[in-house]
Structure 1
């Protein structure tokens, strides 16, 4: 029997996704859970695993093309079934996504690119700066591109007719846009041309950047943030890290120990491991923490799960693996979802202290600064120690101030007594 595989709901809130890369081809036999395709949304590229077993009869959507959630993307067949059976199963849906779409006619066409031009105004009236279109002629010929490639080309101001496609049949796909230069036209005035040093360049927003902006704006405007800061003496932590790295199969970083300490603080204060919903407060049974990773496209937060059951070296290995795949845009769907807490560490850049914005629906995020030597008082004596400032941002709907203070004190204790992370 013919089985239609449809575009899954890759990430919450996504209405469509694109096939970044097929990991199978017609004739391949797949099994449930095997890698099937890499799907791209405005937030990330994730690996999609097959949910059923069978033989690939047809790939409905080509690489680089996009489709709405629920649209057919591939068809599985059994022995003896033919293209006619596939066509019958797809019906009108079979032609929903074109194989290729011409984006430039044979004749040159003028593309309007807005540029600001100052227009003199009477002395009695303020100057008005209208937007005047500047025509940019594209080269002749026909360029075939996927829908997502055409959309990105418009957003980034790229003349798509100048690109060489690397997709099937020479089609222009997402990866061709990523390596293309962005078209920019400097502003000019009626008095004189602005020098190159003074000109500004407009960088169009990527879909991922717009998604990040939307989520953070929603978080800051709808979630009642409050902030608490602690100073942790980390000399013992740094000494323990050296000892661990003498034996660990992977090199453990300070951030790995911070993640582990945050998880153990939830063991000490389990009431803080909660998230808010409109109908109930959800108390989580495991400690799953998102780790902020900076990528070329923006910030992503893969989740490290059930940290309290793992050794420090196991946590370190998992974080390194997630960071590597995040930077290569190879995260899986479930690795970006869930978790009740996040950690953002800017200490490696020398930042002493900052406050982070919550990642909804999570109830807390810890902003970690750099460890610096400073005077401290120990047992009544003035001495010098390495101190790391950490700021907790919390959702006041889910966590009261006293509860947040208890958690932060537990975290500080775990950092300053790091042997507790090993037992």
Structure 2
């Protein structure tokens, strides 16, 4: 007897998704509630659990297909699937049980000894591309993703630690034509998340009267405070003291003083928020995602750092929840972690402003009539000019700058 596995309810207003990868192949043993597939929605990836224990039956859809809520994905055949981590029976190693398409990808480490995790088909499309780009043997990479699956970051780390290859022997004459014509191309379908990001960013450009204003901030005081207290901070709170905690806290104070930056436009109305839900841009294997720190204005720096750290970890694992991506009254994006010196960030609708942070760079500045070297960072505030005037945007940045250059202001709420 076979049990159908259908697309679960994905959240408010979400009616369809794209099949990102198969985590179980036909013939694999499956336990109750064990993930068998990963679906990509407009916001996050969702794993589909098995409703029963048994053996994975046939896949009803292929990787990359769009599926509606309630549609059948696969079947689970009756059988002994209680020990999902046990090696698959020898019969499942026959060609009939092999993946039907290369796009199908069970996660690395899901089934030790099942005979599929050493195959490139067991990797997600983004990980396979990284393996090909860096020339890494996936069998030597330790996965840090959910259930031990290999992530793109794992492949990059393995490539950076790989010893330089020994000088190759002189190539055979027959290999010359192949080397001369090595101009390969690969066409990869955009993920649903990437499609949604592209659509929303373009809508923001088309709708908002977007403008960006800049300032710079001397990071000396924050760097000194962090160096002085980072060990005690980590010992007491169990999390590292970073710069984002200072910026989020300073931003909530500036938003309180300049409420229009924390507002949004709804038709012909302006909606002002007496709370600060800060969206923080973090990287995930599928692209940039923006989880929300609820009531950040009521949090301590330590709580903010813990929340951001948890978001970053779960974003890499693809474990963020849809509810954590909704809402937000203001966004902070830190391009400095990738080396960006300056940028003009795009608003995250329906919000009316976004703050861009950039890399810290030592530059000569004039202080008290003297030229000194200071660690400086450029700040960029992109805002909707329909709602926020230039004076308010500049005042917001100045308030933020003052709080960062004198962190005591954050402590005494000034």
Fold in common (TM above 0.5) = yes
Taking the aligned partners of 1:387 and 1:64, their CA distance within structure 2 comes to: 56
Say whether the 8 Å CA contact 2:214–2:378 is kept in structure 1.
Answer: yes
Identify the residue that residue 41 of structure 2 maps to in structure 1: 41
Superimposed CA distance per residue, residues 92-143 of structure 1 (whole angstroms, 9 cap, x where no aligned partner): xxxx526349xxxxxxxxxxxxxxxxxxxxxxxxxxxxxxxxxxxxxx8587
Question: Which one has a bigger Cα radius of gyration?
Answer: 1
Higher deviation after alignment, 315-324 or 209-218:
209-218
Taking the aligned partners of 1:210 and 1:321, their CA distance within structure 2 comes to: 26
Q: Secondary structure at the match of 1:361?
A: coil
Shift of residue 310, structure 1, vs aligned partner: 1.2
The answer to whether residue 188 in structure 2 is matched with residue 203 in structure 1 is yes
Taking the aligned partners of 2:46 and 2:386, their CA distance within structure 1 comes to: 32
Shift of residue 46, structure 1, vs aligned partner: 4.9
The answer to whether residue 16 in structure 2 is matched with residue 15 in structure 1 is yes
Q: How many residues align?
A: 321
Taking the aligned partners of 1:314 and 1:371, their CA distance within structure 2 comes to: 24
Taking the aligned partners of 1:14 and 1:161, their CA distance within structure 2 comes to: 24
Say whether the 8 Å CA contact 1:240–1:419 is kept in structure 2.
Answer: no
Distance verdict in 2 for CA 1:284–1:379, change over 3 Å: same
Q: Secondary structure at the match of 1:227?
A: strand
Identify the residue that residue 369 of structure 2 maps to in structure 1: 380
Identify the residue that residue 309 of structure 1 maps to in structure 2: 298
Distance verdict in 2 for CA 1:198–1:21, change over 3 Å: closer
Distance verdict in 2 for CA 1:207–1:98, change over 3 Å: closer
Taking the aligned partners of 2:178 and 2:341, their CA distance within structure 1 comes to: 43
Normalised to the residue count of structure 2, the TM-score between the two structures is 0.65
Taking the aligned partners of 1:162 and 1:389, their CA distance within structure 2 comes to: 43
Taking the aligned partners of 1:403 and 1:357, their CA distance within structure 2 comes to: 18
Say whether the 8 Å CA contact 1:307–1:315 is kept in structure 2.
Answer: yes
Taking the aligned partners of 2:222 and 2:60, their CA distance within structure 1 comes to: 47
Shift of residue 421, structure 1, vs aligned partner: 2.2
Taking the aligned partners of 1:58 and 1:283, their CA distance within structure 2 comes to: 50
Match of 1:97 among 55, 64, 72: 72
In the alignment, structure 2 segments of 5+ residues that lack a partner are 1-5, 25-29, 77-94, 133-176
Identify the residue that residue 178 of structure 1 maps to in structure 2: 124
Distance verdict in 2 for CA 1:380–1:317, change over 3 Å: same
Identify the residue that residue 82 of structure 2 maps to in structure 1: none
Identify the residue that residue 68 of structure 1 maps to in structure 2: 68
Identify the residue that residue 3 of structure 2 maps to in structure 1: none
Normalised to the residue count of structure 1, the TM-score between the two structures is 0.63
Taking the aligned partners of 2:32 and 2:103, their CA distance within structure 1 comes to: 31
Q: Would you tell me which structure has more helix in proportion to its own residues?
A: 2
Shift of residue 204, structure 1, vs aligned partner: 3.1
RMSD of aligned Cα (Å)? 4.4
Shift of residue 226, structure 1, vs aligned partner: 0.3
Taking the aligned partners of 1:356 and 1:97, their CA distance within structure 2 comes to: 40
Identify the residue that residue 269 of structure 2 maps to in structure 1: 280
Taking the aligned partners of 1:411 and 1:62, their CA distance within structure 2 comes to: 57
Say whether the 8 Å CA contact 2:17–2:192 is kept in structure 1.
Answer: no
Identify the residue that residue 76 of structure 1 maps to in structure 2: none
Identify the residue that residue 232 of structure 1 maps to in structure 2: 217
Shift of residue 318, structure 1, vs aligned partner: 0.8
The answer to whether residue 246 in structure 2 is matched with residue 257 in structure 1 is yes
Match of 2:359 among 370, 394, 415: 370
Shift of residue 159, structure 1, vs aligned partner: 6.1
Identify the residue that residue 173 of structure 2 maps to in structure 1: none
Distance verdict in 2 for CA 1:58–1:41, change over 3 Å: farther
Match of 1:335 among 324, 331, 344: 324
Say whether the 8 Å CA contact 1:292–1:300 is kept in structure 2.
Answer: yes
